[in-house]
Amino acid sequence: MQWLRSLAFTTFLFLSTAVYAVAVMASFGLPYRRRYAIARHWARTQLAAARAICGLDYVVEGRENVPTGSHISVWKHSSAWETIAQMVIFPPQAWVLKREILWIPLVGWGTWLMRPIAIDRGARGKAVNQVVEQGRERLASGMWVLIFPEGTRVPVGQQRRFGISAALLATETGRKLVPVAHDAGRYWARRGLLKKRGTVRVVIGPPIETAGRDPREVSDEAKRWIDAKVAELGA
């Protein structure tokens, strides 16, 4: 039965995403915040559908750790769930993503209007510079910047080296780095159709001060916190 529920949800996800992508494109002339509100409504709709169809809910701990102003959030990346939920949990964010996503018909075009930072992951040095340059502009405009420092979805129980771009952007701008851990991978695997019943726990960590610090030191601090919290969550 859970497989059928998962199939029904996935079908809804794809169809509704196409509809919302068209809505975002139709809002091209509206202010950015209005466009983002449409995308956020899409995210709320998907989370509500996951709860109603698959029995997959979520709770957030540490909301008080989200500072005012615009900063950088770094998330554990283990599934597609967090790419949806972050839009509801955090203020408007510019997402650092691989540029190939923008080539997807409808979805990519709508994503482009959300002002992401689309990078070529194969050009490492250039990609880091792009994150810093465009991230600085996004932060100055009042947006947050979201980075998955592992660079790709990592299976439950595994870790990858953190990239330096998030910490470098934070130290060069003096903005805080906010680490986020969760156990979404236990319920929504990075590959496969099945969405398990349960409650995803999202934990927002204390913001890390970065001004005047070495980027590698900041990155290591964020990684230690996320890895320890993910292990505590059993993911």
Over the chain (235 residues), the average pLDDT of each successive run of 10 is 95 96 93 94 98 98 97 96 97 94 91 92 80 96 96 86 95 97 94 93 98 96 97 89
φ/ψ of residue 74, rounded to 5: -120, 125
- Other CB atoms within a 10 A radius of the CB of residue 99 amount to 15
- Token pair of 80, please? 């597609």
pLDDT of residue 159: 85
Cβ-based neighbours of 100, under 8 Å, separated by 6 or more:
none
pLDDT of residue 234: 86
Alpha carbon 183 to chain centroid, angstroms: 14
Residue ranges of domains in the chain, CATH in brackets: 2-233 (3.40.1130)
194 by DSSP, 3-state: which? coil
pLDDT of residue 192: 82
Which whole-number Å values give the CA distances from 165 to 125, 144, 145, in the listed order? 10, 14, 11
* This model's pTM is above 0.95: no
Radius of gyration of the chain (CA): 17
- Token pair of 4, please? 């059928």
- Token pair of 232, please? 């505590």
pLDDT of residue 152: 86
DSSP for residue 54: I
